[in-house]
């Protein structure tokens, strides 16, 4: 798992855009079906809590795949 994060972190990110090859399932380290702030920032450390919270449309403290797509498309 640690190798996966290192590989993902090494990929170039523009804002919070998902790097090619990094799927939602790859980022979802605990396979919960949602992304926590820690999971997102493990691969995109430039994402702020403010941007994460703005993308969390249902305010449940994590991002669904659709919410993450909005964050990734916004440039974080």
Give the range of the structural domain holding residue 49, as residue numbers without chain letter: 2-74
Does residue 15 surpass a pLDDT of 70?
no
If one compares 10 and 67, the residue with the highest pLDDT of the two is 67
43-61 burial, b at 16+ Cβ within 10 Å, e below that, comes to bbeebeeebbeebbeeeee
Q: What is the total count of domains within the chain?
A: 1
**19-66 residue pLDDT tens:** 445 789 999 999 999 999 999 999 989 999 999 999 999 999 999 999
pTM for the full predicted model: 0.70
Provide the CATH number for the domain around residue 50: 1.10.238.10
- Using CA atoms, how far residue 10 sits from 14, 39, 45, 73, in Å, is 12, 15, 11, 20
pLDDT at 73: 83
Q: Which two tokens stand for residue 15?
A: 């804002």
Judge contact between 44 and 76, C-beta under 8 A: yes
């Amino acid at each position: 798992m640690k190798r996966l994060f290192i590989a993902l972190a090494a990929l170039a990110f523009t804002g919070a855009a998902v790097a090619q090859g990094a799927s939602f399932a790859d980022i979802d380290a605990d396979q919960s079906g949602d992304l926590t702030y820690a999971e997102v920032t493990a691969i995109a450390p430039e994402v702020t809590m403010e941007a994460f919270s703005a993308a969390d449309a249902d305010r449940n403290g994590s991002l669904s795949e659709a919410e993450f797509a909005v964050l990734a498309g916004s440039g974080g």
